Structure 1
Amino acid sequence: MIFAGKRPHNLGITNGKLASCPNSPNCVSSQDTDPEHIISPLTFTTNLQSAMTELKQIIQSLPRTKIITETEDYLYAEFKSAFMGFVDDVEFYLDHQANVIQVRSASRLGYGDLGVNRQRIATIRAKFK
């Protein structure tokens, strides 16, 4: 893993929010406000536990993925690229009051990501019913 980088220290939920994206274009977040980084959250109509179970199954079905942290309303996974082993940090916060799953997907290293983080969330959204 030449290009894994170090795990960020700003991951997790603080006051109901995931960390903001950095200024670089290699991050998307459903809780960000600027057009470059904003992405819609996932929505669910089931209960919190069912939504988390389904989300976890989808994450585990994707290649080169490792779930690092899981609580009843938070899931953090690392996604590794097939080429060069770049690692992206992907977080999900299940906001049961709004019935949405807030998402954040960010590259650890580099500046751009060729749209990989946005595409990853779109893929997960398509699988999530």
Structure 2
Amino acid sequence: MRLLLLIPLIILVAMILLSLLSRRGHAIGLVDDRLAPLPSKPNCVSSESGTPAAKQVEPLQTDKAGLLAAIAATGGEIVSDQNDYIATTYTSGLMRFVDDVEFRRDGTVWHVRSASRVGHSDMGANRKRVAAIRAAL
């Protein structure tokens, strides 16, 4: 009986520790003038060429003002705003996990990379976030 009570407590403590760990990271930034390649974990998406099909999203068709407005409308916090690169963070509601969303301008489109800082699966949260940003445009 005690074991049944202990398991949820262990899971809760692990989730709290992961949440705290996610607050210590930062966006990867550009690598060779492109958004960084994605890790092998399924908790990320990108519009850069070379991204595996399962993690691929379309780039965003907008100007910088429209992108900044969409970021604000979807709850993103801008961490870095350079000429052709924007880094933002999004924090989940309950456990306060932090994800990085980065944008790189390429001519008339903005490439996007959305990735969780910790964990393995995100249950589609990063794909949904990019869809929400696209809808806010």
- Partner letter of residue 7 of structure 1? G
* Cα distance in 2 between the residues matched to 1:38 and 1:8: 22
Q: How does 1:1-129 map to 2 (within 5 A)?
A: 3-4=19-20, 5=22, 6-8=24-26, 11-31=28-48, 32-44=50-62, 51-63=63-75, 65-96=76-107, 99-128=108-137
Structure with the greater alpha carbon radius of gyration = 2
Gaps of 5+ in 1: 45-50
C-alpha distance after superposition, 1:2-54 (max 9, x if no partner): 51423246x2222231011110000000014212211111123xxxxxx1111
* Cα distance in 1 between the residues matched to 2:93 and 2:51: 31
Gaps of 5+ in 2: 1-15
Would you say how many aligned residue pairs link Structure 1 and Structure 2? 118
Which piece of structure 1 moves more, 54-63 or 107-116? 54-63
Q: Alpha-carbon deviation of 1:87?
A: 0.5
Structure holding more helix per residue = 2
* Cα distance in 1 between the residues matched to 2:86 and 2:130: 14
C-alpha distance after superposition, 1:64-120 (max 9, x if no partner): x31100011111100000010000000011112xx2110000000110001010011
* Cα distance in 1 between the residues matched to 2:94 and 2:45: 21
SS of residue paired to 1:83: coil
Identity within the alignment, %: 38
Moved over 3 A (4+): none
* Cα distance in 2 between the residues matched to 1:72 and 1:57: 16
8 Å contact from structure 2 (residues 87, 100) kept in 1: yes
